[in-house]
Structure 1
Amino acid sequence: MMKIRSLVAVAGATALTAALTVAMTTTATAATPAQTAARHTTNVMDACGRPAPGQMRCYAQVRTDVAGGPAGVRGVHGGARTAVSAAAAPLPSGLGPADLHSAYNLPTTGGANQTVGIVDAGDDPTAEADLAVYRATYNLPPCTTANGCFRKLDQKGAATPLPPDAGWGVEEALDLDMVSAACPECKIVLVEGDSPDVADLAASVDTAVAAGATEVSNSYGTTENTESAAYASHYSHPGVAILASTGDSGYQIPSSPAVYQSVIAVGGTSLVKAANARGWSETAWSGAGSGCSAWFDKPAWQTDPDCPGRMVADVSAVADPQSGVAVYVTDKTSLGGRLVPGWNVVGGTSAASPIIAGVIALSGHPGRFPNAAYLYAHTDGLHNVVGGNNVLGDQDCGGDYQCNALPGYNGPTGLGTPNGLAAF
């Protein structure tokens, strides 16, 4: 990968943009790095597998060495435990809602008038039942079709017929659980695209907005390319906050749709408990996607010096599978025989996007986010993340902020992570 900073030293913005365009186009045709998982660990696997050409890849990463949960937890259905009381049962491995609220200084109430849209590919037939287990385990209020909190639609907006299972069940469970963790009072609409095709998922975003979503989380992407601009309008809905994960391949060619100017690009961190005033320590996750766009202009509200185009990320949340979140999923097609049905520890920037969507919903002001400009004007309300980098293999940015979590804005974590709701 080219060293962006060294190019800046010898070329102006116009020359750099042209050089980036040539280099990134060549790289995209050879490797499509945004579609390749970060290979920095041996105990993590892609949740959705490798996509076909013209398809998006989900960014969920699953731990293969941690699975299962307390027996009593698995007896939960429809919001009620049948074996062990909520107070008595031990909690599953992985971060839960209380951890996220503590780390990010979030209130436990709010967002009751918000509907968070989740866009994924294919049907997860156990989505609602699995969500009931997750929410009951952590004493969150039920969110069901019956009480009007939860809806599942196809990409045309109909409750039936739903598309076939595309193997994205882990991703869908992760998205549902993280929205629930961040904003327990929010309503949720899950829109299931006919396939992971770029066009189907773009259409599904429009459907989520038409169904009343006030925030829409998209935990998927593909390497930006000459066709990316054709789908940008589907991710621009003034009055609705549109978010997208930056990907799990470290410093690379940026991922679309995260690179769109109308989208809040969500990067990732490693989050662990610590004996400090905050109670938590946070550094850049090595897999968090970042990069300088060769196809999309730098928006006026983004002023980092060494990238003449749109730079990702904007903001971030926990994504490292090694410090991952607890997720309950039993979709057989998604699990395949590779994972244990029930509790798993999951990460990837797929976790970060729905968390931030839930935080925006908690604040209740999605209209502030036709883009990420509001965040750049309210950095005091964020934890600036310093330490770590997202350099994988021979990728390098020459010590620049684009791949190193330096003070202030940096590529892997953007402006930082939530510290309450002041920035939202």
Structure 2
Amino acid sequence: MGTTPATAGPRRSVTTRALALATIGATALTCSLVTAQSTVAAASAFPHVAFRLHPASEGHINATARTTPISTSDCVTQIGIHCYSPLQYRNAYDLNPLYQQGVTGKGRTIVIVDSFGSPTIQHDLETFDKQWGIQDTQVQVVKWGNVPAFDPTNADMTGWAGETTLDVEYAHAIAPDAHIVLVETAVAETEGVTGLPEMMDAEKSLINKGVGDVITQSFGATENTFPGFDKGDFSSLTNLRYAFKAAAAHNVTVLASSGDNGVTDADNNNNLYPFKVNSWPSSDPLVTSVGGTQLTLDNDGTRTAPDAVWHDAYGAGGGGVSGIFDRPLYQIGVAGVVGDHRGTPDISMSAAVDGAAWTYESYDPTRVGWHLTGGTSEASPILSGVVALADQLAGRRLGQINYNMYVLKLLPSQWSGINDVTVGDNGWNGVAGYQAVKGYDLAAGLGTVDGYKFVHALAGR
């Protein structure tokens, strides 16, 4: 069971980390696209309702979903955005040679934490796998607390179900033989009461039981919204770090999405700050912060342009410096960029809505079918699969990978597998962002990865 802190601070908004693109009905393409652009842009400015944790994958527009996914070229001509399958991501991130070597995540466990979960996750994953020729796996569902019965008319629950679907399908797609543990928590509320403490309790419990090699988290709260922040008292946040400390002690890798609002994020009234802010847990030095890129691929998953920082009409990858945490030792080499504070992100993966991922969802009987989703909630589970591959190759848990990544970045990319991202910026909602440059930056971090080279480099083999 989750526990409630003895002293609960004011309830605060917590955003989760993806923007959902419209589910496009086959007979309403033009209308759907126009609606999607206006609605998703609005969701980016006001991404959630006060006092509740909200799922990353909410905001689907049409009740009618596609019966089958369409190709990237058809998405571009019919919808006006790029869309990608898991097979395209596998090719783009150079993962197929690893699978051919037998590196598939076998023997490793990825833990995914979401409120409420999805009652159809096993069926949806099997449908997803069948479409793309990926081997099935049995998702282990762990209910933490008194998880209420799923109500498909409850927008909170269906939103979290969308997040759950994205997380599970893409972690599995990248590491197909890894065991997936889905932790469903009972409360989608604020960290001051039971929301984040419940999630942290669940993570710590599994860590202490030896369950999980990699944890992926697609949620976050703006640092400035924690009680005491404006007075320099950060204890309401730092008291929540116990799960990450346990992870460090047990060599468990912890990932978190960096955000979908560029260098800003939501305040307690769900308006975006008019200045740069950062969010936790992405900003935690014990966590690997996963930012967002925009991939431009053909139908086979071959790049037709260099990766850029995610910044399209729907959102931008989160990044910046923490207002709470000092610069960690592993960032001493980029002190000229981050100053005296923790900088995010550390690394970036696909997140653009104009480059959205296909998911299959049936938890809502009015909108069963194939949907498109983007955001850094896509990036974090993708990287969790990559880390699971590296864990398998290394024959052990790699734990806190940030130290290794910042050292690897000193090597040529053909050895490190870390490719620089030098195009784009993460400004959003009128707040000027950071420009991607050669080397580390606060838009894409160290860059992105060539999976084959990165996995071998990270594993030391």
Establish whether TM, by shorter chain, passes 0.5.
yes
The residue aligned with 2:349 is 317
Q: Report percent identity of matched pairs.
A: 25
SS of the counterpart of 1:44? helix
* Deviates further, 307-316 or 34-43: 34-43
Higher helix fraction (1 or 2): 2
Matches within 5 A, 1:96-175: 96-106=85-95, 107-108=98-99, 109-144=103-138, 150-155=139-144, 162-165=147-150, 166-167=157-158, 168-175=160-167
SS of the counterpart of 1:243? strand
The residue aligned with 1:200 is 198
User: CA separation in 2, counterparts of 1:264 and 1:219?
Assistant: 12
Matches within 5 A, 1:353-392: 353-364=380-391, 365=394, 367-379=397-409, 380=413, 381-392=417-428
Deviation at 1:235, TM superposition (A): 2.2
The residue aligned with 1:417 is 448
SS of the counterpart of 2:293? strand
* Deviates further, 366-375 or 382-391: 366-375
Tell whether the 8 Å contact from 2:206 to 2:212 is kept in structure 1 after alignment.
Answer: yes
The residue aligned with 1:59 is 56
Tell whether the 8 Å contact from 2:321 to 2:342 is kept in structure 1 after alignment.
Answer: yes
The residue aligned with 2:174 is 182
Distance 1:250 1:188, change over 3 A: same
The residue aligned with 1:271 is 295
User: CA separation in 1, counterparts of 2:260 and 2:117?
Assistant: 23
Tell whether the 8 Å contact from 1:135 to 1:180 is kept in structure 2 after alignment.
Answer: no
* Deviates further, 318-327 or 403-412: 403-412
User: CA separation in 2, counterparts of 1:348 and 1:211?
Assistant: 30
User: CA separation in 1, counterparts of 2:301 and 2:360?
Assistant: 31
Deviation at 1:129, TM superposition (A): 1.0
Deviation at 1:52, TM superposition (A): 3.8
Deviation at 1:372, TM superposition (A): 1.2
Letter in 2 for 1:68: A
Distance 1:318 1:62, change over 3 A: farther
User: CA separation in 2, counterparts of 1:142 and 1:59?
Assistant: 25
User: CA separation in 2, counterparts of 1:222 and 1:289?
Assistant: 12
Distance 1:288 1:72, change over 3 A: closer
TM-score (norm 1): 0.76
Distance 1:409 1:64, change over 3 A: farther
Does 2:369 align with 1:342?
yes
The residue aligned with 1:262 is 286
Deviation at 1:163, TM superposition (A): 3.9
User: CA separation in 2, counterparts of 1:112 and 1:213?
Assistant: 13
TM-score (norm 2): 0.70
Distance 1:418 1:104, change over 3 A: same
Give a deviation string over 1:221-256, Cα, whole Å, max 9, x none: 111233221111212313111100011110121111
Task: Please list every run of 5 or more consecutive structure 1 residues that lacks an aligned counterpart in the other structure.
Answer: 1-28, 74-92, 145-149, 398-402
Deviation at 1:138, TM superposition (A): 0.9
User: CA separation in 2, counterparts of 1:131 and 1:388?
Assistant: 34
User: CA separation in 1, counterparts of 2:132 and 2:329?
Assistant: 42
Q: Which of 319, 327, 334 in structure 2 is aligned with 1:290?
A: 319
User: CA separation in 2, counterparts of 1:172 and 1:119?
Assistant: 8
Letter in 2 for 1:284: V
* Deviates further, 341-350 or 379-388: 379-388
Deviation at 1:41, TM superposition (A): 4.8
User: CA separation in 2, counterparts of 1:412 and 1:169?
Assistant: 29
Distance 1:417 1:389, change over 3 A: same
The residue aligned with 1:281 is 306
